[in-house]
Amino acid sequence: MRNIRAMSTLLLVLAATVAVAAAARSTWSPCGLSMLSTITPLGEQARGNRYATSVAWFVTGAVLGGATLGLLVVPLAAGVGALDLPAETRLGVAAVLAAVTLASDLALGGFRLPAHTRQVNETWLDQFRSWVYAGGFGWQIGVGLATYVTTSAVYLMIALAALTASPWAALAVVTGFGLVRGLAILLGVRLTTPERMVALHRRLEHALPAAQRGIVATQAAVLAVAAGAAVGPVPAVALALAGALAVVARRPRPAVPPQARVAPVRPA
């Protein structure tokens, strides 16, 4: 019983880790970068709005977006729980799914899982009050699947949350994803001049390869840990070594075109 509990806890930890990593990696999506040149002190001042208020609405919307996706995952987790699968089986499935999403992010053999390429509607900035556009943008960012999906780890998070077999745990994991995505807006808290905005986006540009390797390493680690817990340490070591080689040898291509990375500040 204690071993079963430990394995179930391990699944929850893996799901939460992927949620945080996927949310962080998604900062480099066109939508994520657009928010960091739109909802800023400079941009909100130009529109006659308070930056702190807009950020609060954005983060609230992102949390609600994560919770919305979480509510869709809840029945999946309940279904897995109803099947009463052994923890080893659920971890084995997690390992297989991690292998699939890892292969997708590395484009092994040209394989890619379907990805969404929708951008938020920036005309909202001219049409609505700040609580509408900030909250609406936040919800779309936080729900994870409404805009650009830059990493297949988002799909892995959903699957791992369901595999916890706990509806409450699944809801917490996916809502946490929305929270982390929303908090990324605070990277722009010091963007009070165009020069600071350009400097931040340059730093993000330089950090993109590290972010890409980080999400690949996270999925490789999930694959190794889940496989090790399901079938033993030897496969885990082999998969860990293979994952390390993939991270070092393979550099994923940038998912965001350079021209899409900095959105102009709209005057009031």
CB crowding 115-154: b at 16 or more within 10 Å, else e: eeeeebeeeebeeeebbebbbbbbbbbbbbbbbbbbbbbb
C-alpha to C-alpha distance for 110 and 106, rounded to whole angstroms: 9
Give the C-alpha separation, 210 to 189, whole Å.
23
Predicted pLDDT at 161: 97
- Does residue 260 lie in a domain region? no
- Per-residue pLDDT, 260: 43
Tell me, what's the pLDDT at 237? Answer: 62
**The domain containing residue 12 runs over which residues?**
2-253
264, part of any domain: no
In this predicted structure, what is the pLDDT of residue 127? Answer: 87
- Whether residue 261 lies inside any domain: the answer is no
Closest to 148 (Cα-Cα) out of 115, 177, 180, 106:
115
What is the pLDDT, as a whole number, of residue 254? 46
Please give the pLDDT value at position 261.
43
How far are the Cα atoms of 13, 88, 173, 220, 224 from residue 238, in angstroms, in the given order? 22, 19, 29, 11, 8
How far is it, in rounded angstroms, from Cα 170 to Cα 160?
Answer: 8
Does residue 266 lie in a domain region?
A: no
Query: Is residue 45 situated within a structural domain?
Result: yes
Structural domain count of the chain: 1
Q: Is residue 89 part of a domain?
A: yes
Strand segments (E) across the chain: none
For the entire predicted model, the pTM comes to: 0.88
Q: What are phi and psi of 3, to 5 degrees?
A: -65, -40
Q: How far apart are CA 123 and CA 5, in angstroms?
A: 50
Token pair recorded at residue 86 = 């052994």
pLDDT (tens digit, 0 to 9) for every residue of the chain, 268 residues total? 557 678 889 999 999 999 999 999 999 998 899 999 999 999 999 899 999 999 999 999 999 999 999 999 999 999 999 999 999 999 999 999 999 999 999 888 889 998 877 888 888 888 889 899 999 999 999 999 998 999 999 999 999 999 999 999 999 999 999 999 999 999 999 999 999 999 999 999 999 999 999 999 999 999 989 988 887 765 666 666 666 666 665 555 544 444 444 444 444 4
The radius of gyration of the chain from alpha carbons, rounded to an integer in Å, stands at 19
CA distance 47 to 57: 16
| Contact criterion met (CB below 8 Å) for 62 and 142 | yes
Give the distance from CA 266 to its chain's centroid: 27
Both structure tokens of 194:
């165009």
**Does residue 258 lie within any of the structural domains?**
no
Q: In Å, what is the CA distance from 211 to each residue of 90, 150, 254?
A: 28, 11, 10
